[in-house]
Structure 1
Amino acid sequence: MPNAINYKHLNYFWTVAHEGSIAKASEKLHITPQTISGQLSLLEKRMGNELFERDGRGLRLTETGRLVLRYADEIFELGKELNDVLRGVPAIGPSEFIVSSASALPKAIVYKMIEPALRIDRDINLTSLEGPIESILADLAIHKVDLVLSDKPVTGALNIKAYNHKLGESGLTFFASPLLAKKYKNNFPYSLNNAPLLLPTKQNEIRQLFDHWLSEKNIYPIIRGQFDDSALMKAFGQAGMGIFFMPSIIADDVCRAFNVKVIGETNEVKQQFYAISAERKVRHPAVAAICDAAKLLLLK
């Protein structure tokens, strides 16, 4: 087998192997099936072995094909890592930096975490996005974003190669409008029994922990609203529609911004915070600045 490998042909093989058929690879690569089939034949000649065999309407890797795929996975993974490194290399003009945060994270915390990235000794063009955790992790996997901020770690169940960097955790503080706070402040947390509550929706990690805590203490509030957007939940709380909680590290910010009062706090339930990257080792200086500053913030 000649030493030189045509990496364009290898990319066609890699895409077909992961897509399961030439037709699907053709749609993904925007190349005709005939072109892909012809390039695969050339690659097989170069390799000296067949890489696929027919399996019904699809294709199945041969033993040689499985071996080549393992190497191809590593080759293209290294290519992605190179892309990540190059995105952190100084260039003419601002360096693009894209952060995506889970919808469940309070905006005040996201701001406190991201802001240090704009103070590093480099021009940064920041783009801040948010969305459901599954969606933004998918963007991370294909390098559409540089970093994901979340309140829960990525797990193998999502089949996404990413690395968790735990930033810290915070207990919860409970807030209400002045009138509601006066009524429910005494005997906290048992004052929450039959009290009107505004809560994150159940797909949020902190909601599941909170529900378990209530159950353990035999506290049964009246749920007046459930929200994906923490800012909207705080607006309803400001209007006196119910009691809500936020991480304790932003308690002063919440009181000032929404004119609400603290009725109690607990460290028995803690919200965790993670930075999730496509790299095991943090290389991008903006990502490093976020991780370092967030760890200091969450030590308070």
Structure 2
Amino acid sequence: MADNFNYKHLHYFWVVATEGSIARAADKLFITPQTISGQLSMLEERIGQPLFDRVGRRLRLTETGRLVLRYADEIFELGKELNDVLRGAPLVGTSEFIISAASALPKTIVYKILEPALNLSKDLSILCKEGPVETILGELAVHEVDMVLTDTPLSSAYSIKAYNHYLGQSSLTFFASPDLAKQLSGTFPACLNDQPILLPTKQYAVRQLFDKWCQDSNIFPIVRGQYDDSALMKSFGRAGFGIFFMPSIIEQEVVESFGVEIIGSLSEITQKFYAISAERKVTHPAVAAICSTARDIIFN
């Protein structure tokens, strides 16, 4: 492909793709269908691959066409935003940073991760939401949030254009109420056998790792509860309903806040943490501050 990309050709392609046909695109652009067809052919020649498959009278995007469309969406949305700014329209959301955190992440860790963004500017307002992994990734896909915090990295299973930014990892510490801790026999982790345990739901990566570790280690606790919300799980654990685990980097906070005892630590399983954003290379100052501080201070 030549270095000088023809954005007029790209704009014609974008309108055809969004309108669904050359005829509708021609009506919108006030030019002839023949002109658009010629421009599309020139763009395909420049790229070296077809952008559409012709199925009867319909156009269907090829894989290359879908890739080009994703970038074209961003290019022309930025162009519209620039035009609005130059005309004096205020930028929407410049002072608001919207984050969705997976419900199962401990709130203490979420706070530690987000704190650097709050210190960037007094004008920055953080809107923090939480929910199941699929829900918060869906919010990112439709640009309702700027960043997602989760222990489950984005994979090809999700048709979302976004990027994982690894923050760090932590081993796991297991806790029990004082009364339950007294009932445990044997050394850790064998003492987990046949004992009640409270776990995150199976959508979270750390739960999947724990289940596999139990199988490999021939350790079989009794699952008494599964939770989307880490705070709720800790509350049930404090009440003595079962053993539960949290990342070791917050073990002291858990002991002090919930009055539970540490019964053991497990280094074979680590809970990894990710910030997921629409940026491949982090440029948003709040996301950059979060990623840098998490790697250098929280998970060092």
Identify whether the pair has TM-score above 0.5, normalized to the shorter chain: yes
1:126-275 matched pairs, under 5 angstroms:
126-184=126-184, 186-275=186-275
How far 1:224 sits from its partner (Å)?
0.8
How far 1:10 sits from its partner (Å)?
5.5
Picking from 63, 74, 77, the partner of 1:77 is 74
State the alpha-carbon separation in 1 of the partners of residues 99 and 150 from structure 2. 11
The letter of the residue matching 2:18 is T
The aligned counterpart of 1:14 is 17
State the alpha-carbon separation in 1 of the partners of residues 155 and 78 from structure 2. 21
State the alpha-carbon separation in 1 of the partners of residues 204 and 138 from structure 2. 18
State the alpha-carbon separation in 1 of the partners of residues 274 and 250 from structure 2. 17
> Secondary structure of the equivalent of 1:279?
coil
The 1:80/1:255 distance shift into structure 2, 3 A limit, reads farther
The 1:282/1:43 distance shift into structure 2, 3 A limit, reads farther
State the alpha-carbon separation in 1 of the partners of residues 213 and 147 from structure 2. 31
> Secondary structure of the equivalent of 2:281?
coil
The aligned counterpart of 1:60 is 59
State the alpha-carbon separation in 1 of the partners of residues 7 and 269 from structure 2. 59
State the alpha-carbon separation in 2 of the partners of residues 248 and 84 from structure 1. 44
State the alpha-carbon separation in 1 of the partners of residues 103 and 140 from structure 2. 16
The aligned counterpart of 2:33 is 44
How far 1:98 sits from its partner (Å)?
0.6
The aligned counterpart of 1:29 is none
Tell me the C-alpha RMSD between the 2 structures. 3.6
State the alpha-carbon separation in 1 of the partners of residues 60 and 92 from structure 2. 45
How far 1:78 sits from its partner (Å)?
2.9
The 1:186/1:78 distance shift into structure 2, 3 A limit, reads farther
> Secondary structure of the equivalent of 1:158?
coil
Percent identity for Structure 1 against Structure 2? 49
The 1:84/1:257 distance shift into structure 2, 3 A limit, reads farther
The aligned counterpart of 2:104 is 104
Which consecutive unaligned segments of at least 5 residues does structure 2 have?
1-5, 41-51
The letter of the residue matching 1:127 is L
State the alpha-carbon separation in 2 of the partners of residues 282 and 250 from structure 1. 27
The letter of the residue matching 1:242 is G
Q: Check conservation: 2:103, 2:132, Cα contact below 8 A.
A: yes
TM-score for the superposition, normalised by structure 1: 0.79
State the alpha-carbon separation in 1 of the partners of residues 282 and 27 from structure 2. 41
The 1:109/1:47 distance shift into structure 2, 3 A limit, reads same
How far 1:44 sits from its partner (Å)?
2.7
Q: Check conservation: 2:177, 2:239, Cα contact below 8 A.
A: yes
Count of residues in correspondence between the two structures = 279
The 1:186/1:98 distance shift into structure 2, 3 A limit, reads same
